Structure 1
């Protein structure tokens, strides 16, 4: 049928449901990334990489925040990290920075990191499993009384 995705034959010989287009889009985005496990991301921060937390406030309140992470709302991400944009944050002064995007589970962060790479930020990547995996790995989180406000232009 026109417009339908073909079913895929699994290794067990059973046909699976067709993949959603967003799953294909996600796989394509991830193919361009060298994604990091949470412990790798934390080690990269120690070497100068910057973690960018794109989760909404309610998720940061529930799971906590990553110490030192830069909070930028997803809908502003490209403008805040593009070193050629007037709406960038001060840390976005080079295309060579390793930006590590993190979300709740590691899905939207992959799409965000791929978008940053499209802007020429070739070291952009994301965290496998997101904050859920970060917490499960026992890495540091903080629970401030007031969630960190998202960064704006020049902040």
Structure 2
């Protein structure tokens, strides 16, 4: 299936503003990635290989936070190489307002946005 539009790549500051305005923040990093580098409070953790199960509106295992195809969604990963394909996958599944974060989680953190440090970094 070809897409009529590509998911927009937005700065971490624009992404955070979208989330503050009600967009759903979806973190598709691995458990190891989150454990090594930290989390973004409030992000829904999703498996990039389970988009139908986790985002299908009629799926019994979808995230409760997923409510409609026009809901704004911000995807973050360790880099755009991870978030881009997920954002494209959501568009292919009918979501119409999907963006992903330039620089991924490292960019989010470097922009001074709220993160929870990994347990290994907390003392």
2:13 is aligned to 39
Runs of 4+ in 1 over 2 A off after TM superposition: 84-87
Q: Of 63, 81, 91, which aligns to 2:65? A: 91
TM-score (norm 1): 0.70
2:36 is aligned to 62
Q: Which has the higher contact order (CA 8 A, sep 6+)?
A: 2
Q: Of 111, 124, 140, which aligns to 2:114? A: 140
- Structure 2 portions without partners, runs of 5+: none
TM-score (norm 2): 0.86
Q: Of 4, 7, 23, which aligns to 1:49? A: 23
Q: Output the CA distance in 2 between the equivalents of 1:78 and 1:102.
A: 18
- Structure 1 portions without partners, runs of 5+: 1-27, 146-155
**RMSD of Structure 2 on Structure 1 (CA):** 1.9
Q: Output the CA distance in 1 between the equivalents of 2:109 and 2:100.
A: 15
1:78 and 2:66 matched: no
Bigger shift: 35-44 or 74-83? 74-83
**Larger CA Rg, structure 1 vs 2:** 1
Q: Output the CA distance in 2 between the equivalents of 1:122 and 1:60.
A: 27
* Cα distance, 1:44 vs structure 2: 0.4
